[in-house]
């Protein structure tokens, strides 16, 4: 017997097919064992997994680059703060109110503070050396040991050259690919 689907009706894909399979498998396994302790262990594992999925969604780290591209400047800064926290940094947001002296975030890990300049550009536009200058100025103003520019786009040759020639401290450039790798780590 086959199931007939009315014309024009599309089947919905499961949002989380792996999660559905996992829950079904755990319920089937617990029914097979018919032991209360095993049932409680399975239920606790399912509940823990669901809580983890919900927490990850709530902190907003499950985002496609398309969603990142659609963000405004301040929203992008807040998102980067979440990304850096997820990577184990402590984060201070200094750029949301304007007058940031060249840094949007100050991130610190293992005692090393870094001034971060966030640039959310249209993918066609590349980030120039003015952003690198701002990050260097921010690192100087906030007494940071490093500077960084993070973008959802790419950098011009001049920006890369200026970052590599800075002798005061290291300047790191995170392009779209680097940002994607950081998000995937989480």
The pLDDT, as a whole number, for residue 5 is 45
Provide the pLDDT confidence category of residue 162 given band limits of 50, 70 and 90: very high
Cβ atoms 98, 106 nearer than 8 A:
no
CA angle 55-60-66, nearest 5°?
Answer: 145
Q: What is the average pLDDT score of the chain?
A: 82
CA dist 115 and 134 (Å) reads 10
User: Which of 48, 60, 61, 59 minimizes the C-alpha distance to 22?
Assistant: 48
Number of Cβ within a 10 Å radius of residue 130: 14
pLDDT tens-digit readout, 65-124 = 888 888 988 999 999 999 999 999 999 999 776 677 989 999 999 999 999 999 999 878
Cβ atoms 78, 68 nearer than 8 A:
no
Q: pTM of the predicted model, to two decimals? A: 0.68
Cβ atoms 147, 114 nearer than 8 A:
yes
Residue with the two structure tokens 């290291």: 170
Provide the pLDDT confidence category of residue 170 given band limits of 50, 70 and 90: very high
65-185 CATH, one of 3.40.980.10, 3.40.1350.10, 2.40.110.10, 1.10.150.120: 3.40.1350.10
Q: Which residue has the higher pLDDT, 71 or 61?
A: 71
Q: Which of 36-40, 62-66, 85-89, 141-145 has the lowest mean pLDDT?
A: 36-40
The pLDDT, as a whole number, for residue 141 is 95
Number of Cβ within a 10 Å radius of residue 163: 21
Which stretch of DSSP H or E encloses residue 159?
helix 157-165
């Amino acid at each position: 017997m086959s199931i007939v689907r009315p014309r024009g009706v599309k089947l919905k894909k499961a949002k989380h097919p792996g999660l559905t399979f996992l829950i079904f498998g755990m319920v089937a396994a617990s029914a097979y064992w018919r032991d209360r302790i095993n049932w409680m262990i399975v239920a606790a594992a399912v509940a823990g997994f669901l809580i983890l999925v919900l927490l990850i969604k709530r902190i907003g780290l499950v985002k496609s680059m398309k969603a990142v591209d659609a963000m405004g400047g301040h929203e992008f800064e807040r998102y980067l703060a979440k990304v850096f926290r997820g990577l184990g940094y402590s984060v201070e947001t200094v750029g949301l109110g304007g007058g940031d002296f060249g840094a949007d975030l100050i991130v610190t890990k293992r005692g090393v503070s870094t001034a971060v300049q966030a640039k959310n550009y249209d993918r066609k536009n590349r980030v120039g050396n003015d952003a690198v200058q701002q990050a260097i100025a921010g690192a100087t103003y906030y007494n940071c040991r490093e500077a960084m520019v993070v973008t959802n786009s790419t950098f011009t040759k001049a920006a890369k050259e200026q970052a590599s020639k800075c002798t005061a401290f290291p300047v790191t450039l995170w392009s779209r690919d680097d940002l994607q790798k950081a998000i995937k780590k989480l």
